[in-house]
């Protein structure tokens, strides 16, 4: 029923032991303190008998002793284990899962504060190092480990990234909670196309067509591209709301900055009539979200200093019209046009960031026709712009986009009519008819944020299971 090594471990735990004629069963005895590897480095348990469970990251047998480094994912550092050579086992090696019991002691070596002097080692899960795609003495590139989505969490690089992702997620929620925002779980399945770009995944049960009146929802439904419109509903009752969850774009792209499924941080703020109010929230949030710690393994050592320096500086604010002027005056040759009214492409965004000192820059007041129906009309003829803003950052380009929302019923109705959406969004007009207030919000791509703070070139390397066109593994 159990593998041999596991069965031996279980049996050894239940073997009776005689002491002065009295039989004592091991399962009645006090077990050694179970520690995570990160806890072992805190020195609190030095001199105590402890047990560690994890995976062997290095294995070095010598004539008299065995040296293992065991990691359980709780820390970038692995715990060194020293054991007598007699404890060697054919199944013990790189990649296998083990439980080690022994005495935690101060280490004589300056590079490690403690080490575990093993009394017992059990191999819980064996691993053939020949077949295992990651080798003990090789530092594999992110491109290489991306080929093994089911195993790449075992590497130092990706486990570090996942710890940072977890900490950054907690920091996002902490920032919004501390600043009075209400968390709203917006739906994954929706009947609206918030962005109006048409890049939607349609949800359809097998064998169902939406022409059929008996279809599951009776209307076409999609995977959400944004929770913004649902947040706008909530902003009619709560002045500050946010959501943080997966969004989907059916964009046929395999670029380094696009995914079909990614996470968005979105916020909506009521009683605001100023783009400056939005940019102030963004700037504060960017500083609070940033989590750079000892988890860093895959970035240059100077990254934290570079990031801190970037966040200490004031983010420049330029208008779209000024951005176009900067692009036109440059000596750079761009692939895409830079005429007023053209959308800014990645090449333009990266150039603007460098032009402004390689720090984040806000671009405001985009052409009205480039923005969705909900963006507030500036009514500034002849240019005719919208009160919209994008945040551009080094190495990535656009990180976040937002706008003031059109709260004036007549203008909103006119815009929806121009787009042929007045019937579809009649409920949206109701939001303006009943207690509407000036409001605005933004959405931030979480994976692009991680790319920015970690200096990671490819967005597929900052998400556990990347989904993009022609690829959906696992």
Tens-place pLDDT, residues 338-365: 999 999 999 999 999 999 999 999 999 9
**CA nearest 416: which of 432, 437, 401, 435?**
432
294 pLDDT more than 60: no
- The pLDDT assigned to 391 comes to 95
- The pLDDT assigned to 209 comes to 61
- The pLDDT assigned to 24 comes to 41
- In angstroms, the CA 288 to CA 307 distance is 12
The H-or-E segment that residue 37 falls in is helix 37-40
In sequence order, what are the residues at sequence separation of 6 or more whose Cβ sits closer than 8 angstroms to the Cβ of residue 161? Answer: 297, 298, 450, 454, 456, 461, 462
Query: What are the start and end residues of each CATH 2.40.50.140 domain in the chain?
Result: 31-125
Any idea which of 178-192, 225-239, 251-265, 402-416 has the lowest mean pLDDT?
A: 251-265
| DSSP state, residue 397 | E
Query: What are the start and end residues of each CATH 3.30.930.10 domain in the chain?
Result: 152-461
436 pLDDT more than 50: yes
- In angstroms, the CA 307 to CA 168 distance is 15
- The pLDDT assigned to 196 comes to 59
Question: Which token pair is 29?
Answer: 């005895």
Query: In DSSP terms, which residues pair with 54 in a beta bridge?
Result: 98
- In angstroms, the CA 141 to CA 158 distance is 10
Coil, helix or strand at residue 80: strand
Give the mean pLDDT of 226-237: 95
Torsion of CA 78, 82, 88, 91, to 10 degrees: -10
Q: What is the mean pLDDT of the chain?
A: 86
Assign domain 152-461 to its CATH architecture. 2-Layer Sandwich (3.30)
- The pLDDT assigned to 404 comes to 96
Whether 451 contacts 236, CB under 8 Å: no
In sequence order, what are the residues at sequence separation of 6 or more whose Cβ sits closer than 8 angstroms to the Cβ of residue 370? Answer: 341, 343, 386
Coil, helix or strand at residue 102: strand
Crossing angle of the two packed helices 156-178 and 446-454, in degrees rounded to 10: 120
69 pLDDT more than 90: yes
**CA nearest 242: which of 191, 195, 192, 172?**
172
Q: What CATH fold (topology level) applies to the domain 31-125? A: OB fold (Dihydrolipoamide Acetyltransferase, E2P) (2.40.50)
9 pLDDT more than 80: no
Band of pLDDT at residue 17, cut at 50, 70 and 90? very low
- In angstroms, the CA 55 to CA 69 distance is 8
């Amino acid at each position: 029923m159990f593998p041999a090594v596991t069965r031996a471990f279980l049996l050894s735990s239940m073997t009776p032991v005689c002491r002065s004629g009295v039989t004592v069963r091991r399962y009645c005895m006090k077990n050694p303190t179970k520690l995570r590897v990160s806890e072992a480095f805190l020195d609190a348990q030095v001199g105590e008998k402890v047990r560690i469970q994890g995976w062997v990251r290095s294995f070095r047998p010598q004539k008299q002793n065995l040296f293992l480094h065991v990691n359980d994912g709780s820390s970038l550092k692995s715990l060194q284990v020293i054991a007598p050579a007699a404890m060697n086992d054919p199944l013990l090696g790189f990649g296998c899962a083990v439980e080690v019991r022994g005495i935690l002691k101060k280490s004589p070596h300056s590079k490690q504060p403690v080490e575990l002097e093993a009394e017992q080692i059990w191999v819980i899960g064996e691993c053939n190092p020949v077949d295992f795609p990651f080798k003990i003495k090789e530092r594999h590139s992110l491109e290489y480990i991306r080929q093994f989505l089911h195993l790449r969490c075992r590497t130092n690089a990706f486990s570090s990234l996942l710890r940072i992702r977890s900490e950054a997620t907690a920091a996002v929620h902490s920032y919004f909670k501390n600043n009075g925002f209400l968390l709203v779980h917006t739906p994954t399945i929706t009947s609206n196309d918030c962005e109006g770009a048409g890049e939607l995944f349609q949800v359809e049960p097998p064998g169902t067509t939406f022409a059929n009146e008996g279809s599951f929802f009776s209307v076409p439904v999609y995977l959400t591209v944004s929770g913004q419109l649902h947040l706008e509903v909530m902003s009619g009752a709560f002045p500050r709301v946010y959501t943080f969850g997966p969004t989907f774009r059916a964009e046929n792209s395999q670029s380094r900055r696009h995914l079909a499924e990614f996470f968005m941080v979105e916020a909506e703020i009521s009683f605001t009539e100023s783009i400056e109010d939005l940019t102030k929230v963004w700037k504060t949030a960017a500083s609070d979200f940033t989590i750079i710690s000892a988890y860093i393994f895959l970035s240059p050592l100077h990254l934290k200093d570079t990031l801190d320096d970037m966040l200490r500086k004031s983010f420049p604010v330029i208008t779209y019209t000024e951005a176009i002027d900067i692009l036109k005056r440059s000596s750079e040759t761009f692939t895409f046009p830079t005429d007023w009214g053209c959308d800014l492409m990645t090449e333009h965004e990266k150039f603007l960031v460098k032009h402004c000192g390689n720090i984040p820059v806000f671009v405001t007041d985009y052409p009205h026709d480039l923005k969705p129906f909900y963006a507030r009309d500036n009514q500034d003829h002849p240019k005719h712009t919208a009160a919209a803003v994008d945040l551009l950052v080094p190495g990535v380009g656009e990180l976040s986009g937002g706008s003031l929302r059109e709260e004036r019923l007549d203008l909103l109705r006119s815009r929806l009519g121009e787009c042929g959406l007045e019937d579809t969004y009649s409920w949206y007009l109701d939001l303006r008819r009943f207690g509407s207030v000036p409001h605005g919000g933004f959405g931030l791509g979480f994976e692009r944020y991680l790319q920015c703070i970690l200096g990671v070139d490819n967005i597929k390397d900052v998400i556990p299971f990347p989904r993009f066109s022609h690829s959906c593994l696992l």
